[in-house]
Chains A and B, each alone.
Chain A
């Protein structure tokens, strides 16, 4: 590892339209000393705007959004942040949606019901890659 402690922190973005869930994730991530939540969005449009502005290590994406699927953001993400790790959280585990996310290049797909510590561990793992 190089640089100061700032540089070592994993920079994370959350895309989630459920406000309470997003807040919860925010709380969870901001309590971690090695993680820095630098962007959050509630819609695909909002997220697209942010993607270009920030350098990201990990993006946590929800699939079912009011204006499309989180999977649609992956291509944009990779363009500005080629090495970004993508974690998709799926509420439905609907096979078509999951396949779409996988073929768009998601690194991990987790059930939204997965225990939070597991989600956290996955974010860390993707950030270290």
Chain B
């Protein structure tokens, strides 16, 4: 091996040069890093070096910031609680300090920074300063925040879905173009269609048989007028009676409905039982007491004819009158009970017959009847019966309690509703008077037919009874 003595000294010189070159390369490397702010602080926190990443992230040129205290990068709140100093203290004590926090750029804007501060000590362990590496993690933080919000929304949506799926009501939602945006499990069942098949499609195109049904009218009214509406109707889709509500929503409409066929059936059965019972009572009264009264009146009349005694005749006349009054009272009851036999009579005829009957009973009181041309001429079934009963009750009240000279009955239609008004010119009553049994039963009957009853009265100014009831389907026009 050949080795030159001079090589030793040269070697030492070469090593220093290599070290210098290595340090230079390292300095250039650090200075050139763009995504990280890498700089040094002296033991007191004053900035001693700056790199390209620091310039880009924090906005300062090297000559502006070198020599400044690094607390410049902190928010006022952090400075106030001496957080920069605390960071240095921890780094000095434990070797390094790491956090994510808000930092301030030169232009005053803030960004999320991931910060690592490392204490630099010489061979004797003397603190010489700190190296600080900062990265802008705003984008990542924002992404995380977005993800968190998204997860929250998802959870809320799941909760809503759980609720909508667990309720026993059928539910669906449509947008303002009638496209289905939600269909719950129960709605799928009632419709016999799957949501996959329905979502995004126009509800009326999917269920064209519903168009023009009572439900359709109420649901479209909710959309058009922005109001909550209710409906109860036979669904042509499921063949079931459904009752529900339509609520306007931000996107369009929310509709809840349920199958009420069972309760409808019960209601109908109860109604039949009630009507059958009324019919039986009417028959019993007619065949028994009423016939006996008629007989008794006739028999007494015969005795009067045969009597030669004027005094006896007078007493018999008293008895005849009493029996007639009794029979007439009974006759009213029988006729009231029998109204339901007339469900299939043309509606105007039914009303006329009620009015005529009351005219024969009303003595001095005049009863006027006005039927609007648009009032259906067909039988109205149960609705007709309920209307007749309310009318009967109102006329009975007028006759017995009002002392009126004139009562007017008017019938007209308004949209899909039938309006009946009975007003008299009698005594009326003030707000303190409790409405009697007659009014209560009128209200009950009105409600049975899905109607609304209003009573307006003032002392000395007569009474008006107004009934509004929806016309049965297919009878308006």
Pick the residue among A17, A94, A95, A115 that contacts B301 (CB under 8 A). Answer: A115
Judge whether B342 and A96 touch: CB under 8 Å.
yes
Shortest A95–chain B CB gap in Å is 4
Interface 1/0s, chain A 16-37, versus B by CB < 8 A? 0110110011011000000000
Known: A91-B286, A92-B335. A18 touches B356 (CB 8 A): no
Is the CB of B287 closer than 8 A to any CB of chain A?
yes
**A28 neighbours in B (Cβ, 8 Å):** 302
Interface size on A, residues (CB 8 A): 23
| Bound Cα distance A66, B283 (Å) | 10
| Bound Cα distance A115, B293 (Å) | 13
Judge whether B291 and A91 touch: CB under 8 Å.
yes
| Bound Cα distance A39, B24 (Å) | 145
| Bound Cα distance A93, B287 (Å) | 14
Is the CB of B353 closer than 8 A to any CB of chain A?
yes
Judge whether A91 and B290 touch: CB under 8 Å.
yes
Is the CB of B269 closer than 8 A to any CB of chain A?
no
Judge whether B291 and A94 touch: CB under 8 Å.
no
Is the CB of B69 closer than 8 A to any CB of chain A?
no
Known: A18-B294, A91-B331, A115-B301. A96 touches B345 (CB 8 A): yes
Which interface residue of A113, A115, A119 has the most chain B CB atoms within 10 A?
A: A113
**A21 neighbours in B (Cβ, 8 Å):** 291, 294-295, 298
Closest to A119 in B: B298
| Bound Cα distance A64, B301 (Å) | 22
Is the CB of A117 closer than 8 A to any CB of chain B?
yes
Is the CB of B305 closer than 8 A to any CB of chain A?
yes
Pick the residue among A95, A112, A117 that contacts B356 (CB under 8 A). Answer: A95
Pick the residue among A24, A27, A93, A115 that contacts B295 (CB under 8 A). Answer: A24
Secondary structure type dominating chain B contacts: helix
Interface 1/0s, chain B 14-48, versus A by CB < 8 A? 00000000000000000000000000000000000
Known: A113-B324, A115-B301. A96 touches B291 (CB 8 A): no
Known: A94-B335, A113-B328. A64 touches B295 (CB 8 A): no
Pick the residue among B297, B338, B360 that contacts A113 (CB under 8 A). Answer: B297
Known: A27-B302, A116-B298. A94 touches B328 (CB 8 A): no
Pick the residue among A25, A94, A96, A119 that contacts B334 (CB under 8 A). Answer: A94
Shortest B208–chain A CB gap in Å is 42
Judge whether A112 and B286 touch: CB under 8 Å.
no
| Bound Cα distance A17, B291 (Å) | 9
| Bound Cα distance A113, B290 (Å) | 10
Is the CB of B82 closer than 8 A to any CB of chain A?
no
**A66 neighbours in B (Cβ, 8 Å):** 287
**B324 neighbours in A (Cβ, 8 Å):** 113
Pick the residue among A17, A95, A116 that contacts B302 (CB under 8 A). Answer: A116
> Using a CB-CB cutoff of 8 Å, which residues 86-113 of chain A contact chain B?
91-96, 99, 112-113
Interface 1/0s, chain B 312-347, versus A by CB < 8 A? 000000001000100110010011001001100100
Closest to B283 in A: A64
Shortest A76–chain B CB gap in Å is 23
Is the CB of B149 closer than 8 A to any CB of chain A?
no
| Bound Cα distance A112, B289 (Å) | 13
| Bound Cα distance A67, B292 (Å) | 19
Is the CB of B273 closer than 8 A to any CB of chain A?
no
| Bound Cα distance A96, B360 (Å) | 14
**B305 neighbours in A (Cβ, 8 Å):** 116-117
* Sample of 27 A–B contacts (CB below 8 Å): A17-B291, A18-B291, A20-B292, A20-B295, A21-B298, A24-B295, A28-B302, A64-B286, A64-B287, A92-B335, A92-B338, A93-B335, A93-B357, A95-B353, A95-B356, A96-B341, A96-B353, A99-B353, A112-B297, A112-B298, A113-B324, A113-B327, A113-B328, A115-B301, A116-B301, A116-B302, A117-B301
A-B pairs with lowest CB-CB distance, top 6: A95-B353, A112-B294, A116-B301, A21-B295, A18-B291, A113-B324
Residue ranges of B at the interface with A (Cβ–Cβ < 8 Å): 286-287, 290-295, 297-299, 301-302, 305, 320, 324, 327-328, 331, 334-335, 338, 341-342, 345, 353-354, 356-357, 360
